[in-house]
Amino acid sequence: MRKDAGTLRDLQLALQLKIEELRQRDALIDELELELDTKDDLIRQLQVELDRHRSASQHAASSADAASTGESRTKRQAISAEPTALDPSQLTDVTLTSYCKTKESRELIQRALMDNDFMKHLEHGQILTIMDCMYPTSLAKGCCVIQEGDDGSTVYVLEEGQVEVTKQGKKLCSIGPGKVFGELAILYNCTRTATVTALTDIKLWAIDRQGFQTIMMRTGLIKHSQYTDFLRSVPSFQSLPEDVLSKLADVLEETHYTDGDYIIRQGATGDTFFIISEGQVRNDDNSDKQVKTLTKGDWFGEQALKG
């Protein structure tokens, strides 16, 4: 009898623990659903912005095609989705300042940028330049870093401390060291979508929209010139007119592979044409057992362009 009573108490305790566990899971699900709703709103807002800029880009492209062929082509100015207020001729007037950082700080900023969904698609050189130009700032516990509804112009990387993200007074999440926040302020001309408050004393690295856009424009123009020069050095492209080379340079995407990586596998569906800008590629043709080594200026995958 005593044994049965003990077993009953154990079962009741286990049931209470399960109920509490379920309650905690329900609370977590509610929090995640709120976060998903917030992200859905953000995605819709970004889609509207993307459609607007895409429409503007198509209109600009149509105008350029209709212009005289004797006029020089306007080069792409920025990777940012927001139309930049800077003119390429003003690039030399904007001074970019580098700030000293420890090796640990540099590595933390670089990892944070490369882990961020919006920043990780930038080229490696752009990420390094952004990291160099980020300046330090510190705030005390309780200070507001970002206020929902305000116009934003700065993106932050948190190095020390903790911050809390809220929307309309409801907590969304907490952010620790090594994370980027506020990035929409430099990518899109929109108001802050949430409030960020320091839970502890914090140390941040920051860069404003003008600095970010200047980096994007300078690196974009330099890269376009490098791509055009590179295409001009490829024998098969030397007969192409300058405007065609410039358009090809616009759509080139730089991709990195490490030693031993497979770029194309025989039999796989191909949809990409490759030109080697650095390094060597081994081409194994199983049909005739030939092995060829391709180097800078060589290309492969051209059949993909023919469907």
Instruction: Say if strands 144-146 and 154-160 run parallel, antiparallel, or are unpaired.
Output: unpaired
Helices and strands in the chain: count of H runs, count of E runs: 6, 12
> 264, 302 in Cβ contact below 8 A?
no
Beta-carbon contacts of residue 207 (< 8 Å; ≥ 6 apart): 130, 133, 134, 135, 154, 155, 186
183 has binding-site annotation = yes
CA proximity to 180, closest of 150, 147, 211, 156 = 156
Residues 307 and 305: their CA atoms lie apart, in Å, by 6
25 has binding-site annotation = no
Residues 90 and 241: their CA atoms lie apart, in Å, by 29
Question: Angle at CA 257, nearest 5°, toward 287 and 271?
Answer: 55
Residues 122 and 186: their CA atoms lie apart, in Å, by 14
Residues 48 and 222: their CA atoms lie apart, in Å, by 30
| Cα distance between the two ends of the chain | 80
Residues 182 and 195: their CA atoms lie apart, in Å, by 10
192 has binding-site annotation = yes
> 179, 196 in Cβ contact below 8 A?
no
Structure tokens at 24: 């905690």
Strands (E), the chain: 135-139, 144-146, 154-160, 163-167, 170-175, 179-181, 195-198, 202-208, 274-275, 281-285, 290-294, 299-300
Known binding-site positions? 183, 192, 302
Known binding-site positions for 3',5'-cyclic AMP? 183, 192, 302
